[in-house]
Amino acid sequence: MNNLLYEQILPLSIPEKLQLIENIWDSIVASAEKIPLTHAQKQELDLEEAYQWYEVQANQLGSEFIDSLLLRWMNNKVLFPKIYYH
């Protein structure tokens, strides 16, 4: 890290440092599509997306119905067409 930058950050209060971290993180998230990912990382993100979809649907439709959909998907991957079909 640049020493000048470090010297500017050091005297900041904890809330100011946390705000700086939040601002930096927001700038990273804003350009997330530019972050190179491996195939395995993309699959992991797709799996997380599928899990989030499952959670939302389970809350809306009832877990028994969603469990049957998830079981069908796990057996032949016909649901979630975007997932794992890169």
DSSP string for residues in 17-41: HHHHHHHHHHHHHHTGGGS---HHH
Q: What is the pLDDT of residue 69?
A: 72
Whole-angstrom distance, CA of residue 34 vs CA of residue 40: 17
pLDDT means over runs of 10, the chain (86 residues): 87 93 87 78 77 73 71 64 48
The tokens describing 19, both together, are: 């705000």
Note the pLDDT of residue 86.
44
- For residue 45, the Cα-to-chain-centroid distance in whole angstroms is 6
Given this model, what pLDDT does residue 12 score? Answer: 94
> What is the predicted pLDDT for the residue at 19?
92
Contact predicate 76/84, CB 8 Å: no
- pLDDT for res 11: 94
